[in-house]
Amino acid sequence: MCLRLFSRSSHPNPPDLPSFPSFLSFPSFLLWLIVVHILFLVVPEAVFAQEAIRILSHQFDPDDITIGTPVQLRLQIEVDESLHIFLDAIEISEQEHLETDKPQVKQIKSEDMPRGKVRYEAIYPLRAFTIGTHALPPITIKYSGADGGTGRIQTPAYLFEVRSVKSPGTTDLKRIKGPWSAPPNWFLYILVVFLLIVIVGVIVFLYLRKRAKPIDLQSAVVSQGQPHEIAYEQLGRIEGMDWITQGKMKVYHTEISHVIRQYIAARYHIPALELTTEELLDRLQSEDMPRERVQRFFTNCDLVKFARYSPTKPEAHERMEEARRIVDETKQSGMGREREQEGEIDENL
């Protein structure tokens, strides 16, 4: 769009006024004005920040950096005394081979300090775990002024070199040897094995000797009474414990079975306490006794002892009756008369 203030009739040669370029429309012109305005606002602020905050120096301590060695990046910063600065940690989330921490900032004094300026030293601790050249990301320095205005600037990316721990000319490190072990003491091993064999042999010998030793049941019976008398006494004691009423059926059947086994051992001179029910019945085949009754008695007791069978109270009382009938039907009659006759013979002698 072009406006002319002078007509051709009043001025034969009117001056040409500046006009928009042919390629620039009115909206584009407005956009151009906005950009120029922003530049006039931002550029002075950036120039002000660069003049108000200056990075005087940077240094890596130590200069010779190896893998894993603690390193300090030291920055000297000069700022206007009217500003307050804030330093963030170095952003290294994308660099897994670097490790850093929050900076330590302290104010430093200097004789050549310009008027109206303050100097700070910022120390960034860091470590690198790969060799080669590393570039730290730019560090952001935030600031705020007395008038409440804020802003930020960024430092350049600082480079540092990391070398291997191995010095030039040195040979490769040898592999770590395993722990030293003393040669085995074969004499000690042989002695231990020999002692174990002796101990096992003694235990087996004593066990076999105990089983092979004849049991003098007759002398035990004479000193304590007749087998059936002892059995009646033990069964009466079990009845007096009132285990049936208390519901202790396993204890009750275990004790009754034990009494009958003791009676059979004393009556027939066989190790009934060391035999299973089947072995005991096999040994009793040649004896004059009610085998079926004995088998039924021990089978019922074993069901309660080992199969967790819970008998009723009448069944439990029936076990006691079966035990007494076994003793009644197998006890030796006339044993007391024979003992009296033996005593008279001894006195006459």
Strands 132-135 and 159-162: antiparallel
In a domain, 172, yes or no: no
In a domain, 285, yes or no: yes
Side chain identity, residue 83: L
User: Token pair for residue 334?
Assistant: 């006339």
What sign results for the dihedral spanned by CA atoms 174, 175, 179, 183? negative
For residue 251, give its domain range: 212-332
Out of 98, 129, 162, a domain closes at 162
Tell me how far CA of residue 252 lies from CA of 109, 159, 176, 296, 312, in angstroms: 99, 92, 70, 17, 12
Q: What integer pLDDT is reported at residue 344 of this predicted model?
A: 45
In a domain, 11, yes or no: no
Q: What integer pLDDT is reported at residue 200 of this predicted model?
A: 94
Same domain, residue pair 236 and 317: yes
Q: What integer pLDDT is reported at residue 106 of this predicted model?
A: 85
Same domain, residue pair 228 and 301: yes
Name residues whose C-beta falls within 8 Å of residue 143's C-beta, 6 or more positions apart in sequence.
49, 52, 53, 79, 83, 84, 85, 86, 150, 151, 152, 153
Same domain, residue pair 134 and 222: no
Secondary element (H or E) of residue 263: helix 249-268
Out of 104, 135, 162, a domain closes at 162
Q: 124 — phi, psi (to 5°)?
A: -105, 110
Helix, strand, coil content of the chain in percent (nearest 5):
45, 20, 35
List the one residue out of 322, 305, 327 whose CA is nearest residue 252. 305
Query: For position 148, which CATH number holds?
Result: 2.60.40.740
Tens-of-pLDDT digits for all 349 residues of the chain? Answer: 333 333 344 444 545 444 545 555 666 767 767 765 565 554 444 455 566 788 878 888 887 888 878 888 888 888 887 787 777 788 777 777 788 888 888 888 877 778 878 888 888 888 887 888 878 888 888 888 777 778 788 788 888 888 877 655 655 556 676 676 667 778 888 989 999 999 999 999 888 876 544 434 344 444 467 899 999 999 999 999 999 999 999 999 999 999 999 999 998 888 888 888 888 888 888 777 788 888 899 999 999 988 888 899 999 999 999 999 999 988 876 544 444 444 443 444 4
In a domain, 59, yes or no: yes
Tell me how far CA of residue 67 lies from CA of 64, 148, 236, 239, in angstroms: 10, 44, 90, 88
Report how many domains make up the chain. Answer: 2
Question: How far is Cα 58 from Cα 274, in angstroms, rounded to an integer?
Answer: 95
Q: What integer pLDDT is reported at residue 50 of this predicted model?
A: 61
Using only C-alpha atoms, the chain has a radius of gyration, in whole angstroms, of: 56
Instruction: Say if pTM beats, i.e. exceeds, 0.75.
Output: no
Q: What integer pLDDT is reported at residue 336 of this predicted model?
A: 44
Same domain, residue pair 219 and 325: yes
